[in-house]
Structure 1
Amino acid sequence: MTEHQQYSVVASLPGFELREYPAYSTVSITMKESFDQSGNRAFTPLVRYIGGSNSDGRQIAMTAPVIQEPQSDGEQLVQFVMPAGFTAADMPAPQDARLACQEMPAHLAAAIRYSGLATESAFRKQLARLERALATAGYEAAGPARSARFDPPWKPPFMRHNEVIVPVQPSVVA
């Protein structure tokens, strides 16, 4: 079974789940393709890295989700989350110069879950729902929204687990 990224549920609120994520490590690539193309195009170099195309020739277990973060310049940052316990210092260097190993800080985030295909259209629709729920609950975004895909492409769309995750500031609502 695939390891899932760790987090603690702080609260289940109307329209979203509030989570605390501990620090974690990722290997990432920035793609120039569209949102819908980037996830698939980024998969090959990222899976090669965890398959042993790295300085140690070390295989690393696949985890979920695969994270995609649209960038302000239209590019797409696509990340594989490393298994729990990895730090950026522990990670073997990528052989592909397009890849980067990063340590992500602990943070508070809001998440909304949905099924179906994780297209840009679905991401934008779910992000709008999440932003409305956050505003109603008195939370503010503290960073860019991310698309999280938990399932392989051969899983039927109606059975897929996708999320939109937004880092947030603590609530100012009493």
Structure 2
Amino acid sequence: MTTSTFNPSTSTNGRTQPAPAQPQKTLRTGMLGIVTAASVAACSAFGGKAAEEPAYNVVIEDGDFQVRDYDGYAIAETMVSPPFDAATRTGFGRLVRYISGANSGRRKIQMTAPVEMEPRGEKIQMTAPVVMSPAEYSGASQGPALAGAAMDSWRMAFVLPEGYTAENSPVPSNPAVMVRDVPPRRVASVRFGGFMSDRNAERERKRLVDWLDDRGIEHQSDWRVAGYNPPWTIPPLRRNEVLVTLR
């Protein structure tokens, strides 16, 4: 898979800075953070790839960190209650049922990657996509964190395959699932291996905050956790990410 090349340059203060990479459109493949039995044949404990990802251009690449320009895409999402592990199981089940035919046309939709989780800081009616992400909560100085007692709910979302929109996607049978469009946007990410957990994600969120602050890059504090591998993948080979939208 072709990605842009990182060529570091040294600034006057001695800090190594990433040079902008030549943007290259990529349609990457990966594995969902949790998968159904039907997808076992396509999975590998050694990081095998199977699921389509939304297309993006890599603008900056610096070790574990990237800045990407994403095209618009559609997601199916749902709101779930903490703790993190229970929220992933509940949300994933709802969304898998939707793409497996629990919708107005009884249509089956191909699974894509990543699965995203976003924490929410206020009680709201359950709705739907697959991404886990946090919302702002009381006392946050830099926007919501990804772990802690302030998490009232999580939003989990699946990215739908290319060509699907909120208008042409089948209507979910479960009112707790909703389909919506995500507009094109610039996103920063940090990649990490090991097991996916809210505490690990919060550790990486802080790394990404420091990386962005060092470069004077402003963000929207809409932190999200993305997982790409089945649970039996060897931990060092897993691909997890924390992402945030840039201003």
Q: TM range, normalised to the smaller chain?
A: over 0.9
For normalisation by structure 1, the TM-score amounts to 0.92
The answer to whether the aligner puts 1:130 opposite 2:208 as a matched pair is: yes
2:89 match? 40
Give the C-alpha shift of residue 143 in structure 1: 4.0
More helix per residue: 1 or 2? 1
Q: Which has the higher contact order (CA 8 A, sep 6+)?
A: 1
2: CA distance, partners of 1:102 / 1:143: 20
Stretches (4+) displaced over 6 A? none
Q: What aligned pairs does 1:69-108 form with structure 2 within 5 A after superposition? A: 69-73=118-122, 74-108=152-186
1: CA distance, partners of 2:97 / 2:80: 16
The answer to whether the aligner puts 1:8 opposite 2:86 as a matched pair is: no
Tell me which moved more, 124-133 or 159-168. 159-168
2:217 match? 139
Conservation of the 8 A alpha-carbon contact between 1:15 and 1:129: no
The answer to whether the aligner puts 1:158 opposite 2:236 as a matched pair is: yes
Q: Classify the secondary structure of the residue corresponding to 1:131.
A: helix
2: CA distance, partners of 1:157 / 1:36: 17
Q: Classify the secondary structure of the residue corresponding to 1:144.
A: coil
Give the C-alpha shift of residue 42 in structure 1: 0.9
2: CA distance, partners of 1:140 / 1:120: 23
Q: What aligned pairs does 1:48-63 form with structure 2 within 5 A after superposition? A: 48-63=97-112
Q: Classify the secondary structure of the residue corresponding to 1:135.
A: helix
1: CA distance, partners of 2:160 / 2:80: 20
2: CA distance, partners of 1:157 / 1:38: 21
Q: Classify the secondary structure of the residue corresponding to 2:229.
A: coil
Gapped regions of structure 1 (runs ≥ 5): 170-174
Q: Classify the secondary structure of the residue corresponding to 2:199.
A: helix
Conservation of the 8 A alpha-carbon contact between 1:14 and 1:133: no
Give the C-alpha shift of residue 47 in structure 1: 0.4
Give the C-alpha shift of residue 4 in structure 1: 1.5
2: CA distance, partners of 1:107 / 1:91: 21
For normalisation by structure 2, the TM-score amounts to 0.66
Conservation of the 8 A alpha-carbon contact between 1:116 and 1:159: yes
Conservation of the 8 A alpha-carbon contact between 2:54 and 2:71: no
Q: Partner amino acid for 1:156?
A: I
More strand per residue: 1 or 2? 1
Q: Aligned residue pairs: how many?
A: 169
Q: Partner amino acid for 2:101?
A: G
Q: Partner amino acid for 1:149?
A: G
Deviations along 1:38-90, one digit per CA (max 9) or x if unpaired, are 11221111001111111000000000000111112221000000001211111
Of 20, 29, 34, which aligns to 2:69? 20
